[in-house]
Structure 1
């Protein structure tokens, strides 16, 4: 068929119209799917610092421990992927809010590092708000600090691997919105599934008072670890008399002033020094943190030991950031940052250079 410019134009228009007609159902389907995902995921959106490190996201309609839906994040075999689900909730400043979610991870070596929930407080303009309490006076007198993000804690896990994440927070007085973010980051070939997510107003938690005592005393004139330990008994007695719940003793107290080397002062944990302080903790019904020198096989650590009111070692933290003198003295740095449950709340420890 001979074509003229008009017929060629008409032919192109017809082809375009046919292609558009064929494509229209597909486009409508894509729009419907996007709308459906937005509706069923209840306003949650996805985000990543950069597209090139963006993981994969999926809303699983029948996911979660009860089958009511879940938000998935998947990482492939590339390193450094980082992404999160995000949603904004209205809040009223000064009121208390209970955050709760459940999550299940697959192939995540360190959940505390790679899987977390975060809450950001914002005003009507989406800007960070200031904390209500006073800030540091040493370098910023009179300046109100910005309210820091909240990081809800992991609670119990059920047999199927679902972990409850929850905490109660008071919204800063100028906050009108809370941004909730649910993360997967820095884990290869990994997945997290978030479900049952809520941020609801609640009653203020009951007041909790904890009395803390720290002992600033440098032993001298003694020759053994046991002699140094006994020097601290009067201080612990005085703290107990003032109804202290927790007494914190100095770093490497069994070494200080004795002339011993790290190796000579080192002992196993539990060991003679923890046995001594355990009796005092049990006698006074309080928690003790003692700075000791630990030996495990051929390794020596600068360690803080937590002893409970039942007279048992609750746990220990090995100093991770060592000064040159300790490195040159053969101390090995720790690699973990444990958190311990006590009757007044969770407790973590640092030693000297760690801070």
Structure 2
């Protein structure tokens, strides 16, 4: 079957839902999954996974440029954590001094940064919650392996959220939180971790998926976090005791195993509007808005959180198959949008003035 031949899970999701909606789906180029051809009622369109045929080229380029996209979001008045770019990441003394100067300008109580390469995709080369000079130099060396330009951005305490916006509407919100254990009074930490790991694999209509990354007790970071709490992997936590496995300090992004939980019904109206405005500002019709904050039910502010990134190729897997919470038919919404007539394409870097403007407090004005 065509679906079983696909390697990319996004494409599998799209092909499976398309079949249910009576939409013909095929590879544009045989044995190449870069482009799908969708046909319904005589109308044919070409897409690239979750990139639609309406995505302007400039919008896609802006989404990849962290500095340019942050600048546009700031100019719109949206809450973006303070950042700086080190233009020549040769890691000479001048480069390091420039990075330290940025860190020292941050409020003392929030003097922690994320260090990320400007040109890398996903979480490659990214280190979060960098607090000391030694950690900063190490993180910059790590980022420099991926890019000669490095961005430093204030680290936001809280949880990560992904807000999916399709055609100016929030379709789903997922919260990512580090995996943690709850003691049962008779199982060791090793046994509790093994039990959790058995739940991470899910059988779905598109095949086997990992609902979260496997927890590796061989990693020193996990053992160090346990040690700080007074545990070893052989200890038995009391029933109901919460045990953390991860600490954000000087952690490589992507090294933390996270639970994916649907929280679409909990995002407040102001944060819905901010997310829609972020996608609109960059001209991205199908966007994943990355937000980090203390509480998604409260309006986003620079004290309470900020917009970290706007993605033009959003992953829909965890909206459809969350570890916890309700599944959202985001692929159906995406396909319906693709075959809906549009008035005019949104131009990247421009936006229609809405009934409210935003300031960096996240409040309407």
- TM-score normalised by length of structure 1: 0.19
More helix by share: 2
More strand by share: 1
Instruction: Select the structure with the greater relative contact order (CA < 8 A; seq sep ≥ 6).
Output: 2
In our comparison, the structure showing a higher alpha carbon Rg is: 1
- TM-score normalised by length of structure 2: 0.19
